[in-house]
Structure 1
Amino acid sequence: MRRFFVVLLMLILIPTAVPGTALAEEPVRLFVNGSQVVPDVAPVIVSDRTLVPVRFLAEPLGFAVEWDGATGTVTLSGARVIRLAVGRPEAIVDGTVVALDVAPVNVDGRVMVPLRFVAEQMGAAVEWDPQNRVVTVTAARILPEGQVGGDLALVGNVEALGAWAEGHTTGQFRLSAVAGVLSMDYTFALDGYREGDDLLVYLTGAGPGLDYRSALAVRAGKVWRLGPGGTWVRRPEEDAAFGPDGLPGWGGDLPAEGGLFDPDTTELAGARILREERTLEGVTYDVVVVEWDQAALSPLFAEFPPTVGDASLLLTVYALPDTGGPVRVDLSMHAADATGVTVDLSGSLAVKPLEGAIPFPPEILSE
C-alpha cells in the first residue's frame, strides 16, 4: 500500500526539467537475452540515465512498436501496453500515468527511451556494469504464472477469482494520505460483474495527480485488460480457465463458497474473526467482522513491520441468512510508517443480483 502512495507522490513532486543530452564517453554495449544488440544510433546518457532506440529494445522482448509521427508518440504492445511521447517526462502504462525522471528524446530520427524503465515495465531485469559500460537485459514474465496485473491486485490470482461475489458489485472508497505538510485525498469507484467463471471489473480513481481507469475481463477462461484509449488487450499467458478453487496464500485455504460464513473458518491470515447478527432497517443479517492488527498485517505487507509505525484493517461483511452470499462489505484501514506517512482508507461495497448478462464490450464478445 505504501508503494502505491509513493508512486502518487512521485507523480506530483518529481520535477519535469530535463538537462541536455550527452553522448557516452565510450559506447554503451547492450545485451538482450544473452545476445548483443547493435542499434543504428548509439545509446545516449541523459541525467545519468541510459536511453536506447526503442525498437531495438522492445522487439527482442516480444513487444510490437507503433510510431505516431503526428503526436511524437510511440506505443509498445505486448503483455501490457506502454505509451511514451518525445519530450514528455511521463509514460502511460495500461492506462495509468507514471512519472519518468527523464523524457524520451529524438536522436537522428530515432526515438530514444529510458532503458531501465521500459525494460522493467516489460517484465525484464536490467543489470548495469559501469566498469565495462555494459547493459544486460534479461526477459522475464511480466507476472508470475497465473496472476493478474498489479493495477487490479484487488482481484489477485486467477484461481482466486472464484471468490469474487456472484452478481453486480459496486463500491466507493475514500483515501487520505498525509506526508508532513502535504495532504492528499483520493476517491475510487469499483463496478464489477461475476456470473460463474466470467468476470468484468472496472476501477477508477481521481485525486491530485491521479486520473485513473483500469479494467479486467475474464470470459471463457480468457483474460483481457483495458489499455490506453479504451482498447482491450488480451493477456496471452492467461488462457487457462479458472474456477473457485479457494484463496491460496492467506495462511491456509479459504473456501470460495461459504468462506467467512463457514463456522469452521476461525482465522484469516492471522486476523481475528467475530460472528454476530445485526438488524439494519428491519432486515437481519449474518455479520462477520475481520480485524487485522499490526502483528497480523506484518507478514502480509512488508511496509508494516511489527516494530515500526502502526497499522490496522477492519473488514465487516453482511450476508442474508437465506442466501449465505455477501450483500455488503465495509472496509476501513489505517497505516502509518516511521517516516511520518499516514494513510487512511474507508468505503463500502454492495452486491446485488445481475440484471441480465454481464455487459462485456463488443470486442470481447466477438472472440
Structure 2
Amino acid sequence: MQSFDVIILGAGAAGLMCALTAAKRGRRVLVLDHADKPGAKILIAGGGRCNFTNLECAPERFLSENPHFAKSALSRYTQFDFLEMVTRHRIPYHEKKLGQLFCDDTALRILRMLLDECHDGAVDIRLSHRISDVARGDAFRVVTDKGVFEAPALVVATGGPSIPKMGATGFAYDLARRFGLPVVTPRPALVPLTVAEDDLTLMRPLSGVSADATAACGRTAFRENILFTHRGLSGPAILQISSYWRPGEAITLDIAPGTDAAAHLIGRKQARPKAELKTVLAELLPTRLAQALAEQRLPQGAMATLTDKALRAAGDQLNRWQVVPSGTEGFAKAEVTAGGIDTRALSSRTMEAREVPGLFVIGEAVDVTGWLGGYNFQWAWSSGWVAGQAV
C-alpha cells in the first residue's frame, strides 16, 4: 500500500491541470492512467496544434442540464489565466478565428508545459496502470494491476467515451454510480450528423464540398462552414449544432446566409433572363452544390421561363432548407461527450461530491459541454484548477 494526499484518475488535460495545481499547494499527488502515454487528446486536438482555449469563453457557451454550474470555475480560472501559463512557458500561439487560440507549431508544447509543471511539483505520474477496484473507507483505496494506492482525496478525470480508439471509456460513470452519483445520459457531441436516404441521394455526390452556411436548431444557430459527407453533414456549423440537436428534430440550413435568396433570384431573372437557374445559383453557392440542387430539388430551365412563385420557392430552399438527421456518427467521431456525471451532485466551487467527501469529478466526465473552438479545453483547465485548490 502506497499513500498520497491526492489520487487523480486520468492523465489528460483536466487531470494534469488538477495535479499541478494541487502540487503547488504542497500536496503529494499521484496520477494514474491506463494508457501508456499522457495527454492523448491534447496531442490530436486542433489538427495537432491544440486549440487550447478561446478568448471569448463565457458560461453561456457551455451546455448542461444545470446551466449555471460552470460559472464558478470559469470565473475563478479564466482563459487569460491559462494564457498566462502558456506565455510564461514561451509557447508561440495565434488566434485563428472566433477567438480560437492555437499553438504555432505543435500541441506537444502544451503537453510538455503541463508535464513540466507537474515535474516541478513532484507529481508522481504512473501510466499503464489498469484499475480493478476503487473503495472508500478511512481513505480512498485504488487497486491496480501494478499496486494498491490510498489517499483521502480522489479525483475522477477519466473523461467520457468519445473517440474510443484513443482509449476513452465510460469508466467515470461506472465509478460515479458505485458511489451513488447520478449520471445524465451521455451522448455524442460536436459530432457529424447522418441523414436519411432521400437527403443522402443529394448529399452523397457532394461529399467533400464545403459551403458557408447557418445551421439552426430551435432558437440556436451557428454560422460557419458546413461539409457534405458520404453519410450526411459535417463541418464546424454542423458540429456546433449537433450538441443541441435531439433525435427526431429538424435542423434548418441557410446556405445563402446574409442574402434574401428569393429576392436575388427574382432580380437575376430580370438581369439574366437567358441564364439557367443552376448558373445563377452558382453566384451564391459552390458550383457542385448549385448544380445538384438545380437538378434534383429545383425547377429546370432558363430564368425567363420560371415564375416568380417558383423562384420564391427556390429561394426558400436556399434560406430555409429543412433536414431531419437520422442520427449521428456516434462516439467514434464525436469530439466530446455531452451529459455525464450530474452536476447537481457536485459543488460548483470545488467539484467535490456533496454526499461523498473527498471525491471530486472534473473535465469531460462532468455534465458540462462547451462549444467547438477551445471551450472544452478551458473547462478542463478551470474545473481541474478549482479541484486542485480544494483537495
Q: Which has the higher contact order (CA 8 A, sep 6+)?
A: 2
Higher helix share: 2
Query: Does TM, scored on the shorter chain, surpass 0.5?
Result: no
Higher strand share: 1
Q: With structure 1 as the length reference, what TM-score do the two structures score?
A: 0.25
Which of these two proteins has the greater Rg computed from alpha carbons?
2
